[in-house]
Structure 1
Amino acid sequence: MTSFADFTHHRVPVADGVELSAAVGGDPDGSPVVLLHGFPQTRLMWRHVARDLAADHTVICPDLRGYGASDKPAEAPDGLTYAKRTMAADVVALARALGHERFALAGHDRGALVAIRAGLDHPDAVTHLASLDVLPTLDMWEVMRGTSAAVGFHLYLMAQPPGLPERMIAADPDGFFGHFLDLWTRDRDAIPADVRAAYLAACRDAVPSIVADYRASAFADVEHDTADRRAGNVLRMPVTVLQQDWGAALGFDAAALWRAWAPDLVHRTVSCGHFMAEESPETVTAALRELLRR
């Protein structure tokens, strides 16, 4: 299934000539929930969860700036084009354009980093926040040490100055992006062939913007997280985190790291792979519904 049945598709201006593409559906009288996809995916990753939540919520599934059918502006020299602060502002502008001043926000992987930044920068807009299988950016870099950092080789590759990583990835984009779809999936049936093809096609057309997104996480995003940590800024809304138990494997306490950012925290480990919204959508949906009741 490579589309959202019964959802309408919108292109919404959000900032500086940038438009986001979003699928919107569900109960128009239900509270709004925005779902942000991860790497190397598009909003399509939410197809199962969105359909369930749509029974009693307005559900908004955008492609992030630089991904899928959304605009892909060229990376500016200041490195802020794909900073999570910029991408979070996109999401808030999108929700407001669709008539929602306040909304719940859930993100997976890269989308979770955008969601975290939205919660820190726009606490009056984000009522609830869910993060799937990431650490906040500053903590991620701090725990990646020694040989254990080999699992995150792509983080270091895409942090390099413009030019080299783009050329290397563009030489075999299907091989590069497909590597992660294979490596991070435990249940291969969770991403069927047509969905996998859609992800690869979207990534093939977005190499420079995807690299710019990751490059921002090594520089601008670290600066923004560091400033928040020094200022004591935290996520003031209820937060749910679902993660694989890779904290134990790499020797750190993921829940403790998260608790420093989110005082009102529910942290759970899951037994499925990284792409949990596709491998175990019922687990993700149940966690989101529980979060929305808090």
Structure 2
Amino acid sequence: MNLAIPGFDYHRIAVADGVALNTAVGGEGDPVVLLHGFPQTHLMWRHVAAELAADHTVIVPDLRGYGASDKPAETGPETYAKRTMAADIVRLAERLGHDRFALAGHDRGALVAVRAGLEHADAVSHLAIFDVVPTLDMWEVLHGADAAVAFHLYLMAQPPGLPERMIAASADEFFGHFLDVWTKDPAAIPGPVRAEYLRASREAVPSIVADLRASSGIDLDHDRADRADGNLLRMPVTVVQQDWGAALGYDAAAVWRAWAPDLDHRLTDAGHFMAEEDPASVVKALRDLLAR
């Protein structure tokens, strides 16, 4: 890891057999855990974490398989199931002395956060989700030519072998594509940070593919089971996202309300990487959530 969040201390914290998470911790007060997305690391939260640390203990890990955290080989679908990755985060908080915490996730980290909220409701006091749709609903709303915006999901859903080789052959171009097309303000991801995202992703191709592959299989099975059982997110939930509903022809707020009865749904004019493009609005959404 070449870059760090200023003022934060770094730890390697064991959360499972053979898996330790690189974790930045700063501030004092009620704990808030921030989970990054694809193709990023914990550094995406650098602005937001610094603001929240004024009155919260802020915990910012690299997810299993990403950044400077351990990257276990995919021995089966459970290795990178969101259930497994959510258990990592609950264990991480416990190791830091917190049996209850607020949780926020962006993109892939948001899917981990949702799974934590569904399966560890006693641990998650508040839940914030940034620019993602639940796994089950994501596959239901993608169809026809509109699904081309999510071509990477279909590529990484393929069995092990081909997607890893294809992506590794041009890793910087592949991951850089998303940093470019999903960003409205390129200056929000300065050169050194972009280089760190590319380096970290280039070194984690198998585990990143395994993470996304899980969302076409085991994660989907877990969401289906929750829908059938009526398992909901019972804590206060805030969702902030671009207007993907209008773009893809569905009611995004209604999709989320079916999972989260206590919902504050907001749209943003920022791009996908809103914690970097518009950190002030993200901090406000989090503070509003924590006040509920």
User: What TM bracket, shorter-length normalisation?
Assistant: over 0.9
Deviation at 1:246, TM superposition (A): 1.4
Aligned residue in 2 for 1:39: 38
**Does residue 50 of structure 1 match 2:16?**
no
Task: Out of 164-173 and 1-10, give the one that drifted further.
Answer: 1-10
- Identical amino acids, percent of aligned pairs: 73
Aligned residue in 1 for 2:230: 232
In structure 2, give the amino acid aligned to 1:40: P
2-structure distance, mates of 1:162, 1:211:
8
Deviation at 1:249, TM superposition (A): 1.1
Aligned-residue CA RMSD (Å): 0.7
**What does the per-residue CA deviation read over 1:256-286, in whole Å, with 9 as the maximum and x for residues that have no partner?**
0000000000001000100000000000000
In structure 1, give the amino acid aligned to 2:157: A
Deviation at 1:231, TM superposition (A): 0.2
- Could you tell me which runs of 5 or more consecutive residues in structure 2 were left unpaired when the two chains were aligned: none
Aligned residue in 2 for 1:282: 280
2-structure distance, mates of 1:273, 1:2:
23
Instruction: Please give the secondary structure, in 2, of the residue aligned with 1:247.
Output: helix
1-structure distance, mates of 2:14, 2:176:
31
| Equivalent residue for 1:163, pick from 155, 161, 164 | 161
1-structure distance, mates of 2:264, 2:247:
21
In structure 2, give the amino acid aligned to 1:153: F
Deviation at 1:206, TM superposition (A): 0.1
**Does residue 128 of structure 1 match 2:126?**
yes
In structure 1, give the amino acid aligned to 2:227: R
Instruction: Please give the secondary structure, in 2, of the residue aligned with 1:218.
Output: coil
1-structure distance, mates of 2:3, 2:14:
24
Instruction: Please give the secondary structure, in 1, of the residue aligned with 2:83.
Output: helix
Deviation at 1:2, TM superposition (A): 3.2
Q: TM-score, normalised by structure 2?
A: 0.99
2-structure distance, mates of 1:2, 1:82:
25
Aligned residue in 1 for 2:25: 24
Instruction: Please give the secondary structure, in 2, of the residue aligned with 1:11.
Output: strand
1-structure distance, mates of 2:267, 2:124:
24
1-structure distance, mates of 2:3, 2:246:
35
**What does the per-residue CA deviation read over 1:19-43, in whole Å, with 9 as the maximum and x for residues that have no partner?**
111000011xx10000000000000
Deviation at 1:16, TM superposition (A): 1.7
**What does the per-residue CA deviation read over 1:67-118, in whole Å, with 9 as the maximum and x for residues that have no partner?**
00000000013x1100000000000000000000000000000000000000
Deviation at 1:201, TM superposition (A): 0.3
Instruction: Please give the secondary structure, in 1, of the residue aligned with 2:275.
Output: helix
2-structure distance, mates of 1:187, 1:225:
34
Instruction: Please give the secondary structure, in 1, of the residue aligned with 2:14.
Output: strand
Deviation at 1:5, TM superposition (A): 1.0
Instruction: Please give the secondary structure, in 2, of the residue aligned with 1:33.
Output: strand
In structure 2, give the amino acid aligned to 1:50: A
2-structure distance, mates of 1:269, 1:4:
27
Instruction: Please give the secondary structure, in 1, of the residue aligned with 2:12.
Output: strand
In structure 2, give the amino acid aligned to 1:273: G
Deviation at 1:3, TM superposition (A): 1.5
Q: TM-score, normalised by structure 1?
A: 0.98
Counterparts of 1:192-271 in structure 2, within 5 Å, are 192-271=190-269
In structure 1, give the amino acid aligned to 2:22: S
**Displaced runs of 4 or more, over 3 A:** none
In structure 2, give the amino acid aligned to 1:155: L
- Could you tell me which runs of 5 or more consecutive residues in structure 1 were left unpaired when the two chains were aligned: none
| Equivalent residue for 1:83, pick from 72, 81, 84 | 81
